[in-house]
Homo-oligomer: A and B are copies of this chain.
C-alpha cells in the first residue's frame, strides 16, 4: 500500500516553502513534526536559505538526498513545486496553497490543469487548500493546523476526514479535552485528486481505525464514497458524517465556500441512508458518537426504538428523553436511583436493563455525583458487564475527569442532552447500505427507445414503465373526434404548466362542450383524457441529482402539499418495498392509509408506480434529468397517471 504509506507514514517529508520565522504558518509543520516526535526525515525546502529552524534546507526537492515519500507544498508556484516533487519521485503532494477551485472560474481551470499534470507525472495530490495530514499513533503531524501547538494529543481509534481544515483542529482540540482521541486526520481541501471516497477506502484498510468520521460541506465523489461506504460496512467500520447545508442559507454558503455543488439537503440525507452512513445533526455528536459506534453494526428493528433510563437527576434525564421523543424514540422505563442506594445497586440496575430485551439502549443520566462522587454513578457504568446493547452516559455537571474516565474505557458519554439524543437518534436510524442489485428492478426493454424517439410521448413512456395512464386520445380540429368515454378533460399539448395558463378544461360532459372548449384554446391538436377521480392525488418523481445521482420521490399532490414540502426521497431505483417505506414517511398520505376511518387507497399500486418511475435510473447513460407524474390519482383499487412530464439532459 504505497499510497497509504506515503500519505500517513512517510519515511521522509519535504516541506516546500518552510519558513524560518517560527511565527509563520509555513513554519508550523516543521515545528509540529518535531514536537510530536516524527521519526522520519524532515526536509525543509526554502528558496533562499540553507538552514531552516535548525535543519538543513534545500532550494529544491530534487536537491535533497535520499527518497522522499510525501511533500507538503506551501508556496504560490504550486505548479513548479509539483514538477520538482515529481523529479524526485515523491508519491504524494499535499497542497496547502489555495487559489484553485476555491477561487472562481480561473481557479477551477488552474486546478484542472494541475491535476492533469499530476496524473502525467504520477504524483497523487491532497488538496489544494488542504491543511495536511495527522497520524497520532504514528507521530506524524504534517499539518499547518494550530491545534498541534498542544503538547499532548490523545490517540484513539477514530479517524477523521474533513473538508474544512480549521474544523479538523476543532474536533481534535475538543476531543482531546475529553480524552476522545483520534488515529488519522486528513484535511482534504478541494479534493482535486484524492477525494473523501478514496480516503475512506484507505481507512477501511487501516488497522488503527475503527470508526470513520466525516466533516462535510458537500459530496464531490458520490459514487466512489458509496462504494467505499459499502466496504467500510463489510469491514465493520461505521461511518458518521456531519454535513453543513441543512438550511438554504447553509447550502449557499457551502457552495460559495467550496466552489462545489452543494446538493439539496434532502437528497444528501437519502444518499447517506443508502450508503449506511449515519448523519448527525450537531457538531459535538461527531466527536462524541464514535464510542457508541465502535464495533457495532446497524440492527434491524420492527418497532420504535426504546431506551431505558437510569438516573440520579430527573431534570437531566428528562432533558434527553424530551428530545428523544421528538425523534419518535420511546421510553422503556425510568429508574430513579439515589446515592443512598449505593454503587452496587446502581450497577445491578444497569446490568439488569442491559440484559432486558424490552429496551434497545440504556442511558445513564448522572447528576452532581459525576463531578464529586464518581465512585457512586460513574464507576458502576465502567464496571457494568458489557453487552451488545449500548450503554451511554449523559453527565449533567461540568465533570471533565469523569468524561475522561468514560472515554478511556470506550463508554459513549455526552456533554449535552441534545448531542446525546441526536447521537442515539442517529444510531437508531442507522441502516446497512442499501443493495441495488435486485433483479426485480429490470427496465422494460421498450423504454430506452421510446425516450430517444424524436418527439417522445411521455404518457407512452410512463405507461411502458408499468404506470397506469388515464385513457386518452389526441384530437384534431375541426371535429375533435375520439373514443374516450365522457366525462373527459381537454388539455393543450404544448405547455408544461397547463393549469396556470388556462390550458386545461375539466369535467367536459359531451362532444358539444368539448368543441366549445377546444375552439377557445385555439389549437389544432389537443389531448382528450378520461376524467379520473380517487381518494387522493399523489406526486411521484425522479431526478438525476448532479451531486448524489438518481433519486426517487413520492409526496402528496396539490398546492397544500407543495407548501408543506411533504415528500420522501431515496436514491433510485427503489424496490416496491422501499417505495412502501417511503410512502409511510409522507405524512399527508395518511389520508389513504386509514386515517380517521377514511377509505384506504391502493398503497401497493402507488408503491409499484414509485418503483416503476425510479427505473429511469436503469436506462443506459441515464438520459432523463427529471420526471414527474403529477397528479397520480390514488384510488381504492389502483392508481392512474393524469399528467406526466419528463425532461432530458441537454
For window 170-214 of A, CB contacts with B under 8 Å fall at 170, 173-174, 176-177
A263-304, CB < 8 A from B: 282-284
CB nearest to A587 among chain B residues:
B563
* Residues in chain B near residue A323, CB distance under 8 A: 246-247, 250
Q: How far is the CB of A27 from chain B (nearest CB, A)?
A: 13
- Of the listed residues A149, A253, A313, the one surrounded by the most CB atoms of chain B closer than 10 A to its CB is A253
Contact B397 A169 (CB under 8 A): yes
Comparing A85-93, A325-333, A349-357, A441-449, the segment that makes contact with chain B is: A325-333
Write the nearest CB–CB distance from A599 to chain B, whole angstroms.
12
| Interface residues as binary, A3-43 with B (CB distance below 8 Å gives 1, 0 otherwise) | 00000000000000000000001000000000000000000
Q: A367-B170, A372-B146, A560-B588 are in contact. Are A315 and B247 (CB under 8 A)?
A: no
| Interface membership of A436, Cβ < 8 A | no
Q: Are A167 and B316 in contact (CB under 8 A)?
A: yes
Contact A398 B314 (CB under 8 A): no
- Is A283 within 8 A of B319, CB to CB? yes
A405 touches B (CB below 8 Å): no
A597 touches B318 (CB 8 A): no
Residue from B150, B169, B249 within 8 A of A322 (CB atoms): B249
Tell me, in angstroms, the Cα distance from A147 to B396 when the chains sit together: 11
Q: Which residues on B sit within 8 Å (CB–CB) of A331?
A: 249, 253
Tell yes or no: A479 within 8 A of B by CB: no
A166 proximal to B (CB < 8 A): yes
Number of interface residues of A (CB under 8 A): 81
How far, in whole Å, are A165 and B371 apart by their CA atoms in the complex? Answer: 16
Cβ of A217 within 8 Å of any chain B Cβ, yes or no, is yes
Residue among A166, A247, A396 with max Cβ neighbours from chain B (10 Å): A166
Instruction: Tell me how far the C-beta of A54 lies from the nearest C-beta in chain B, rounded to whole angstroms.
Output: 22
In the complex, A245 Cα to B322 Cα: how many Å? 6
B170/A322 in contact, CB under 8 A: no
B247 in contact with A326 (CB, 8 Å)? yes
User: Is there a chain B Cβ closer than 8 Å to A596's Cβ?
Assistant: yes
For A158, the chain B residues whose CB sits under 8 A away are none
Chain B minimum-CB-distance residue to A149: B372
* Cross-interface CB contact of A500 among B173, B177, B597, cutoff 8 Å: B597
B contact residues around A249 at 8 Å (CB): 321-322, 324-325, 329-331
Q: Is A416 an interface residue (CB 8 A)?
A: yes
Known contacts A166-B314, A170-B316, A371-B147; is-contact A253 B564 (Cβ 8 Å) = no
A649 CB-CB contact with B under 8 Å: no
Once A249-B325, A253-B334, A371-B173 are accepted as A-B contacts, the answer to whether A283 and B564 lie under 8 Å apart by CB is no
Shortest C-beta distance, A143 to chain B (Å), equals 11
- In the bound complex, do residue A314 and residue B146 qualify as a contact, i.e. CB atoms below 8 Å apart? no
CB of A379 within 8 A of chain B?
Answer: no
Q: In this complex, which of A174, A250, A254, A597 has the most chain B Cβ atoms within 10 angstroms of its Cβ?
A: A250
Apart from the given pairs A146-B372, A246-B325, A257-B314, 19 other A-B contacts in the complex at a CB distance below 8 Å: A146-B369, A147-B371, A147-B397, A150-B371, A164-B315, A164-B318, A166-B314, A169-B397, A170-B315, A176-B398, A217-B315, A244-B322, A249-B322, A249-B331, A250-B322, A559-B596, A563-B595, A564-B566, A564-B588
Provide a sorted-by-A list of 21 A–B residue pairs whose CB atoms are within 8 angstroms: A25-B339, A146-B373, A149-B372, A166-B316, A166-B396, A167-B316, A169-B368, A170-B368, A174-B398, A215-B315, A247-B323, A247-B325, A249-B331, A250-B321, A250-B323, A254-B318, A257-B314, A560-B561, A560-B588, A564-B564, A564-B588
